[in-house]
């Protein structure tokens, strides 16, 4: 009996410890917004050696486009009452075609897409940079890892349609934003959404967490992910298994372009292939040699621009009425 009591005490203490650890992980992943030193950025084991150059390139592009091109600062209100903000770059050469840019985790519209804004405008499109809940000045205490954001995306589409009711919209997502546009692809979107570009999106956030735990933190996913899943359900009302990019793209009828860096250790390239293979609509898959996470545009800027904007041109032309 004595040893049983001791064993139960140890088990209870271990359980409390694991729940405390997972609660801290949940706070870090969903509530925390880690700051990046943009003055002296350093390489990152997940994002690669090029990260300092990527940040400086992005900051320079942000400064350039804000000084060069006019934009409208706009907002939407989500179904749960949050005010989200974005910047709409309306092409001075009148067009009703818009690339709606959907950023990733711990990021913003400018950080993920600033180098692409000018090429998008010069190609004859409007460019919309949104800021997800919890990021870029938008309201929200925590991120939804694409689960909530795929619902919010409908509000952004409605906003673009208020400017161009009969225009064409191409959804363009990066990282978590790529998972967002994939998970929105089978929703009841307006008919003028004509295609989707996803860059380095994950299959679902549970599998992404498992990958990072196993391959980066070198920790077992069981029971940590099970406890984390329980905590997110109880405290955030989020089911980490609910939204799966593969299931969504399997049900979409929209043309899809899947792009990924073949050296990505954060979101493995295999996830892009899984999503591509699940997709039953018109589709294309491109890997960029030597590119780490969300850095295909940095490694291969000319090819990247031609691939993505060429895809947008084709699907918009195919949808001319």
Q: What is the pLDDT of residue 201?
A: 98
What tokens appear for 162 in the block?
């208020």
> Whole-angstrom Cα distance, residue 249 to residue 239?
19
pLDDT category at 310 given cuts 50, 70, 90 is: very high
Helices 109-122/51-68 angle, 10° precision: 60
> Whole-angstrom Cα distance, residue 310 to residue 314?
6
CA-CA-CA-CA torsion sign (209, 201, 29, 240)? negative
Quote the CATH superfamily of domain 44-204+243-318. Alpha/Beta hydrolase fold, catalytic domain (3.40.50.1820)
Judge whether 246 and 203 are in contact, CB under 8 Å: yes
> Whole-angstrom Cα distance, residue 169 to residue 179?
18
Q: How many CB atoms lie within 10 A of CB 74?
A: 17
Decide if pLDDT at 190 tops 60: yes
Q: Which of 72, 89, 166, 87 is nearest to 125 (CA)?
A: 89
Q: What is the pLDDT of residue 35?
A: 66
pLDDT tens digits, residue range 273-306? 999 999 999 999 999 999 999 999 999 999 999 9
Which residues lie below 8 Å from residue 41, measured CB to CB, with a gap of 6+? 51, 52, 55, 56
Decide if pLDDT at 37 tops 70: no
Q: For residue 238, give Cα distances in angstroms to 13, 108, 229, 230, 232.
A: 27, 22, 8, 9, 5
Q: What is the pLDDT of residue 178?
A: 98
Cα dihedral 67, 70, 76, 82 in deg (nearest 10)? 10
pLDDT tens digits, residue range 40-81? 778 888 888 899 999 999 999 999 999 999 999 999 999 999
Look over the chain and give the mean of its residue pLDDT values, rounded to a whole number: 94
Decide if pLDDT at 319 tops 60: yes
φ and ψ at residue 189, rounded to 5 degrees: -85, 155
Q: Which of 172, 175, 180, 184 is nearest to 105 (CA)?
A: 175
Q: For residue 301, give Cα distances in angstroms to 213, 245, 249, 318.
A: 31, 26, 27, 26
| End-to-end CA separation in angstroms for the chain | 80
Start-end of H helices in 80-185: 109-122, 149-163, 176-184
Judge whether 197 and 310 are in contact, CB under 8 Å: no
pLDDT tens digits, residue range 104-113? 999 999 999 9
**Burial classification of residue 198, based on how many CB atoms lie within 10 Å of its CB (0-12 exposed, 13-18 middle, 19 or more buried):** buried
- Return the SS3 of 173: strand
What are the sequence ranges of the domains in the chain? 1-31+208-242, 44-204+243-318
pLDDT tens digits, residue range 118-140? 999 999 999 999 999 999 999 99
């Amino acid at each position: 009996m004595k040893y049983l009591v001791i064993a139960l005490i140890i088990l209870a203490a271990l359980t409390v410890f694991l729940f405390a650890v997972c609660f801290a992980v949940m706070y870090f992943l969903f509530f925390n917004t880690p700051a990046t030193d943009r003055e002296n950025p350093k390489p990152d084991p997940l994002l690669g050696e090029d990260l300092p150059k990527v940040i400086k390139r992005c900051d320079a592009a942000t400064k350039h486009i804000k000084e060069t091109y006019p934009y409208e600062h706009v907002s939407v209100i989500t179904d749960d009452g949050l005010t989200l903000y974005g910047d709409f770059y309306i092409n001075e050469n009148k067009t009703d075609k818009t690339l709606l840019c959907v950023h990733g985790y711990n990021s913003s519209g400018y950080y993920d897409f600033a180098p692409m804004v000018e090429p998008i405008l010069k190609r004859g499109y409007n460019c919309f940079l949104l800021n997800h809940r919890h990021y870029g000045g938008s309201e929200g205490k925590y991120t939804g890892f694409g689960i909530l954001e795929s619902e919010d995306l409908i509000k952004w589409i409605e906003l673009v349609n208020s400017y161009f009711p009969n225009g064409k919209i191409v959804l363009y997502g990066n990282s978590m934003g790529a998972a967002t546009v994939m998970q929105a692809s089978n929703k009841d979107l307006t008919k003028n959404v004509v295609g989707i570009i996803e860059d380095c999106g994950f299959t679902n956030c549970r599998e992404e967490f498992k990958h990072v735990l196993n391959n980066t933190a070198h920790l077992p996913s069981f029971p940590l992910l099970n406890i984390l899943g329980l905590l997110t359900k109880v405290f955030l009302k989020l089911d980490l298994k609910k939204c799966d990019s593969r299931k969504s793209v399997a049900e979409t009828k929209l043309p899809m372009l899947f792009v990924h860096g073949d050296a990505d250790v954060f979101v493995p390239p295999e996830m892009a292939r899984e999503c591509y293979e699940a997709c039953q609509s018109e589709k294309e898959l491109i890997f960029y040699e030597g590119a780490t996470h969300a850095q295909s545009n940095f490694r291969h800027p000319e090819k990247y621009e031609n691939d993505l904007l060429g895809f947008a041109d084709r699907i918009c032309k195919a949808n001319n009425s």
